[in-house]
Structure 1
């Protein structure tokens, strides 16, 4: 697993319902944004910023809400 994803900031593209129902997030790195299946303990709406807390492998990540002070 690429632990380099942990700590990266992304943006939710497809709302995450929380629990075992994933959504989709674009995670940035090295000037490129890539799409990942994203899981979270709580619901996170589309277009919200998230922080990657765990790389689950196979292009899946666990995220938490993140206040993007630069974008607000």
Structure 2
């Protein structure tokens, strides 16, 4: 029984480069979604003020 070798799984620590790449990818994805949300809100506000300036809408309640 001398010299028998058993393959053991070696545990490795976290890969710093892999963690940085995953973190950057997630940050870019989240940042892109956030920026798209703000562009959409900005478009809505700009459209509202354009309609208000043209007189197509009003913020004053009309009396009957």
TM-score higher than 0.5 here? no
Flag the structure with larger Rg: 2
Given the two structures, how large is their TM-score scaled by the length of structure 1?
Answer: 0.14
Greater helix fraction, Structure 1 or Structure 2: 2
Bigger proportion of residues as strand: 1
Larger RCO (CA within 8 A; separation ≥ 6): 1
